[in-house]
């Protein structure tokens, strides 16, 4: 019975989310539509054309982010377990996010112990988790800063710290992290952290968050290492 109850609650949450999500997707798509309609005009100067195209693409990217995050949340179980090389996967995500960091004047610093660390999990989900965290850190430094990523090991756990020196959060804001649609950003989805928590849980990992308003935030991820 207990199990059933949890199932029903989860189903309700998901259907409530589906309703809000169609709204979250429609907004950016409406913006895209508007800019595409503007592009139909005959006498648009090249500069304006460029800007309209950029805004139209941004709308699509935002809708895409909502869908990806929602799908990851709706299906959080790790199904195809594979051996993942932590440093290698982090490098992949860093490469992916570097253009965004450059645009925001954020320098990315990566440091790791020499030992290669392996965990069990699903590649795509681990990358989604890293991506959501790194993106938040970059967005927390709108006028630039440093994003420091470190990989270490203690006993049988891998420790990944991801630190920014951005806007930071109050204790109350830290407590809100992971609640669906909690966002302080004008164009935020408020789904990123929820997905991070659900992926980490499925991978039996822990997350520690230390943050101070106007100083920055440090996320520490602790993954059980694969037995060797
Ligand atoms: P979104 O980024 O779309 O707003 P998230 O779930 O990714 O949604 O994050 C929720 C909120 O948590 C953000 O709007 C922001 O207020 C806060 N937050 C997350 N990461 C950081 C960070 N590194 N520094 C400051 N605030 C953060
Ligand atoms: Mg986010």
* Residue 150, token pair as written in the block: 């470190």
* Ligand 1 atom with minimal separation from the 194 CA: 6
Specify the pTM. 0.80
Cα–Cα distance measured from residue 11 to residue 5, given in angstroms and rounded to the nearest whole number: 10
H-helix segments, the chain: 2-39, 46-74, 86-103, 123-139, 171-176, 192-202
User: Which tokens is 169 given?
Assistant: 């959060």
Q: Which atom of ligand 1 is nearest to the CA of 176?
A: 12
How deeply is 153 buried, as exposed, middle or buried, from its count of CB atoms within 10 A (0-12, 13-18, 19+)?
A: middle
Q: Are 217 and 137 in contact (CB under 8 A)?
A: yes
ipTM: 0.99
pLDDT at residue 11, rounded to an integer = 60
User: Three-state SS for 153?
Assistant: strand
Q: Residue 10: CB within 6 Å of ligand 1?
A: no
Which one of 183, 186, 200 would you pick to mutate in the ligand 1 pocket, going by the greatest count of ligand atoms within 8 A of its CB? 183
164 lines ligand 1 (CB under 6 A): yes
- Among 17, 69, 136, which residue has the most ligand 1 atoms within 8 Å of its CB, making it the best to mutate? 136
pLDDT for 31: 93
Q: How far apart are CA 223 and CA 80, in angstroms?
A: 17
Kindly give the pairing relationship between strand 216-224 and strand 118-121.
Answer: unpaired
Q: Is 216 in the pocket of ligand 1 (CB under 6 A)?
A: no
Distance 227 CA to ligand 2 centre (A): 32
pLDDT by residue for the chain (228 residues), tens only, comes to 555 555 565 566 666 667 677 878 888 999 999 999 999 988 889 999 999 999 999 999 989 988 888 777 767 677 788 999 999 999 999 998 998 899 999 999 999 999 999 999 988 889 999 999 999 999 999 999 999 999 999 999 999 999 999 999 999 999 999 988 889 998 788 889 998 998 999 899 999 999 999 999 999 999 999 876
C-alpha angle 29/32/34, rounded to 5°?
Answer: 110
Ligand that lies nearest to the alpha carbon of residue 177, given by its number in the listed order = 1
pLDDT of residue 34: 95
Would you say the CB of residue 203 lies under 6 angstroms from ligand 1? no
């Amino acid at each position: 019975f207990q199990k059933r109850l949890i199932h029903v609650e989860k189903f309700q949450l998901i259907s409530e989310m589906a309703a809000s999500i169609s709204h979250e997707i429609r907004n950016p798509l409406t913006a895209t539509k508007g800019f595409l309609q503007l592009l139909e005009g005959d006498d648009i100067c090249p500069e304006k054309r460029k800007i309209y195209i950029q805004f139209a693409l941004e709308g699509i990217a935002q809708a895409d982010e909502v869908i990806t995050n929602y799908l990851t949340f709706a299906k959080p179980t790790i199904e195809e377990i594979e051996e993942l090389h932590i440093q290698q996967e982090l490098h992949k995500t860093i490469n992916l996010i570097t253009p965004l960091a450059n645009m925001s004047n954020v320098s990315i610093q990566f440091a790791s112990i020499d030992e290669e660390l392996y965990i069990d999990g699903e590649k795509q989900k681990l990358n989604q988790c890293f991506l959501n965290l790194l993106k938040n850190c970059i967005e927390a430094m709108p006028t630039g800063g440093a994003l420091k990523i470190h990989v270490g090991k203690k006993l049988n756990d891998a420790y990944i710290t991801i630190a920014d020196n951005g806007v930071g959060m109050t204790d109350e804001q830290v407590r809100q992290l992971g609640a669906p649609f909690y966002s302080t950003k004008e164009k935020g989805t408020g789904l990123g952290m929820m997905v991070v928590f659900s992926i980490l849980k499925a991978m039996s990992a822990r997350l520690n968050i230390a943050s101070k308003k106007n100083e920055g935030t440090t996320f520490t991820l602790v993954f059980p290492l694969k037995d060797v």
